[in-house]
């Protein structure tokens, strides 16, 4: 159970680092924010890449499962940061993607 929570936390931290890095670039590009935002954006994306190396198995399966957690985290970002309410399509799509990620993880847990 502790390993599961550690991996889940690592997935969420990885997703947040990726989203923050991309979001800062978006602010610079679309909202004419300062180019100085590119420095923390680059740092955040470097942290994202580094965090990917900490996952238990650096394989396509882990990255695919991470994608489900990324989508869930991005939807949470949409609500918390962008102040956009989720609709039924967001919830259904996000739920299906997250369910798929959980099936992949649970179906292969403890296997190489």
Instruction: Say what the pLDDT of residue 40 is.
Output: 97
- Measuring CA to CA, which residue among 43, 44, 100 is closest to residue 71? 100
Reported as a single tens digit per residue, the pLDDT across 19-65 is 999 999 999 999 888 999 999 999 999 999 999 888 777 667 778 88
Q: What is the CA radius of gyration of the chain?
A: 15
Alpha helical stretches, state H, 53-87:
60-80
């Amino acid at each position: 159970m502790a390993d599961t929570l550690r991996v889940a936390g690592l997935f969420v931290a990885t997703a947040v680092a990726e989203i923050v890095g991309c979001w800062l670039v978006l602010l610079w590009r679309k909202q004419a924010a300062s180019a100085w935002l590119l420095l923390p954006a680059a740092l955040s994306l470097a942290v994202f890449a580094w965090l990917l190396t900490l996952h238990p198995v650096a394989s396509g399966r882990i990255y695919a499962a991470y994608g489900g957690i990324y989508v869930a985290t991005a939807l949470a970002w949409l609500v918390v940061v962008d102040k956009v309410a989720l609709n039924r399509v967001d919830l259904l799509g996000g739920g299906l993607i997250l369910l798929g990620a959980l099936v992949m993880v649970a179906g292969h847990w403890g296997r190489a």
